């Protein structure tokens, strides 16, 4: 469609995406980049640090092969530095020069750059990677298996390559239920002091809740609360 429609100037890919948390396969990414599309291809990698090393890595390495590619990352997720409002665009020298010419002057503060520099030091990277390993372990070895054991939890959606898990809530007939999912979300937020994301209105996510991976203690509280609420569903 993008090749045949001259009004389409950008193809935007998310790897991993939100809310499904799926890391895109390299063969699929290259198929887009090798196509006849003449516009810009952007890969949003906000959650890429949560991908296990044996499954994949950043596609920033492809910018040397594809001058039309821009890879975007952020300090907001794996580094936990949303407050400094700092993102990174990685592309060819020519592409980046166009972006620098178009951006507002002084759009990144000295304070933000100072914090980012410290976070990207050897010590900062080592700390971030340690946190990432803990999140991956909690996601893969506790949160997902425990969610699968809960009543009224159907499929676990997506690739589970980010710092969250999407589960589908089903009724007694095994059908996706926005009603149950939303009631659980509201009860948790209003009366239990826990906030998950209701995603039932998103395309392909009927009956879904998105649960961020926390610490071991936080994840246990979430699972226990979900078990209590879902066990009461008729």
pLDDT tens track for 140-194: 999 999 999 999 999 999 999 999 999 999 999 999 999 999 999 999 999 999 9
pLDDT of residue 234: 79
pLDDT of residue 104: 87
Cβ 144 vs Cβ 160: under 8 Å: yes
pLDDT tens track for 43-92: 999 999 999 999 999 999 999 999 999 999 999 999 999 999 999 999 99
pLDDT of residue 2: 81
pLDDT of residue 1: 77
pLDDT of residue 73: 97
pLDDT of residue 83: 95
Give the bridge partners for 73, in sequence order: 88
What is d(CA 228, CA 70) in angstroms, rounded to the nearest whole number? 46
Cβ 166 vs Cβ 157: under 8 Å: yes
pLDDT of residue 207: 98
Q: 195 pLDDT exceeds 90?
A: yes
What is d(CA 175, CA 158) in angstroms, rounded to the nearest whole number? 18
Average pLDDT, integer, range 197-204: 96
Query: Could you say which DSSP state residue 22 is in?
Result: P
Residue carrying structure tokens 């933000």: 112
pLDDT of residue 44: 98
Cβ 82 vs Cβ 52: under 8 Å: no
pLDDT tens track for 53-67: 999 999 999 999 999
Average pLDDT, integer, range 197-202: 97
pLDDT tens track for 13-25: 999 999 989 999 9
């Amino acid at each position: 469609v993008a090749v045949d429609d001259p009004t389409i100037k950008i193809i935007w890919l998310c790897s991993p995406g939100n809310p499904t948390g799926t890391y895109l396969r390299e063969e699929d990414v290259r198929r887009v980049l090798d196509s006849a599309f003449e516009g810009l291809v952007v890969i949003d990698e906000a959650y890429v640090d949560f991908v296990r090393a044996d499954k994949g890595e950043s596609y920033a390495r492809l910018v040397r092969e594809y001058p039309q590619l821009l890879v975007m990352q952020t300090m907001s997720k794996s580094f936990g530095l949303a407050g400094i409002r700092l993102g990174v665009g990685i592309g060819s020298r020519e592409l980046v020069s166009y972006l620098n010419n178009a951006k507002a002057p002084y759009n990144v503060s000295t304070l933000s750059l100072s914090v980012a520099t410290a976070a990207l030091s050897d010590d900062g990277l080592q700390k971030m990677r340690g946190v990432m390993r803990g999140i991956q372990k909690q996601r893969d070895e506790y949160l997902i298996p425990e969610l699968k054991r809960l009543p009224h939890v159907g499929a676990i959606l997506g690739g589970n390559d980010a710092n969250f898990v999407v589960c589908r809530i089903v009724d007694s007939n095994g059908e996706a239920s926005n009603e149950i999912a939303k009631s659980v979300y509201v009860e948790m937020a209003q009366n239990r002091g826990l906030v998950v994301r209701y995603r039932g209105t998103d395309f392909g996510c009927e009956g879904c809740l998105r649960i961020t991976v926390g610490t071991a203690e936080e994840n246990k509280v979430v699972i226990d609360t979900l078990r209590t609420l879902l066990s009461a569903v008729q």
